[in-house]
């Protein structure tokens, strides 16, 4: 049998999210400009941080696991403001 490789999009499509109308995490682009490591990009298990050509980081709060890894590893002092989503919204694991 061959180990099946699935795309990251297909992987994320297995997870149920109820999208909150307001973002629960905000990222301060100015702080990211000066950050050389941008470890959020590789650490986030949902791949929500994308490095930009201008030195910034593009962040999308949709499909967030609400795990907290991003703010714990962040090198840009205080760049990430982290909260839980509004009650009832966000990720809903069925087989966690």
Partner 1 sequence: MTIGFDIVVVGAGPAGSLAALTAARAGVTVALIERGPYPGSKNVYGGVLYARILDSVIPDWPERAPIQRWVTRRSTMVLTEHGSVAMDVRGDAWSQEPHNGVTAFRSEFDSWLADEAVDAGATLIPSTTAIGLLYDGGTVVGVRTDRPEGDIGARVVIACDGVNSLLAREAGLYDGFDASNFTLGVKEVIGFDKAEIDKRFGVRGREGVDIETLGGTSGVSGGGFVYTNLESVAVGVVLSLAGLRAAALRPEEILRRFKTHPSIAPLVEGGELLEYSAHLIPEGGLDAMPELVTDGMMVTGDAAGMCLAAGVFLEGVNFAMATGIAAGETAAEAISAGDVSRTGLGGYRRRLDGSFVLPDHRRFQRIPRLLLSERVQERYSRFVVDTATELFTVRNTAPKVGLWRIMGAARRRYGVRWRDVIRDGFTLIRGFK
User: Interface with partner 1 by CB under 8 A: which residues?
Assistant: 1-6, 8, 10-12, 14-15, 18, 37, 39, 42-43, 45-47, 65-69, 72-73, 82-88, 90-96
Q: In the bound complex, what is the minimum distance in angstroms from residue 40's beta carbon to partner 1?
A: 9
User: Nearer to partner 1 by C-beta: 9 or 30?
Assistant: 9
Q: In the bound complex, what is the minimum distance in angstroms from residue 62's beta carbon to partner 1?
A: 15
User: Nearer to partner 1 by C-beta: 54 or 95?
Assistant: 95
Q: Nearest to residue 91, comparing CAs of 59, 49, 63?
A: 63
Rounded CA-CA distance 61/83 in Å is 11
């Amino acid at each position: 049998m061959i180990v099946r490789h699935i795309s990251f999009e297909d992987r994320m499509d297995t997870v149920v999210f109820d999208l909150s109308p307001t973002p629960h995490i905000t990222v301060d682009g100015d702080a990211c400009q000066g950050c050389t490591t941008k470890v959020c990009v590789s650490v986030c298990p949902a791949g929500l941080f994308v490095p930009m050509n201008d030195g910034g980081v593009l962040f999308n709060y949709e499909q967030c696991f609400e795990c907290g890894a991003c703010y714990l590893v962040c090198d840009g002092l205080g760049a990430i403001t982290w909260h839980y989503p509004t009650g009832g919204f966000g990720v809903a694991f069925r087989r966690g």
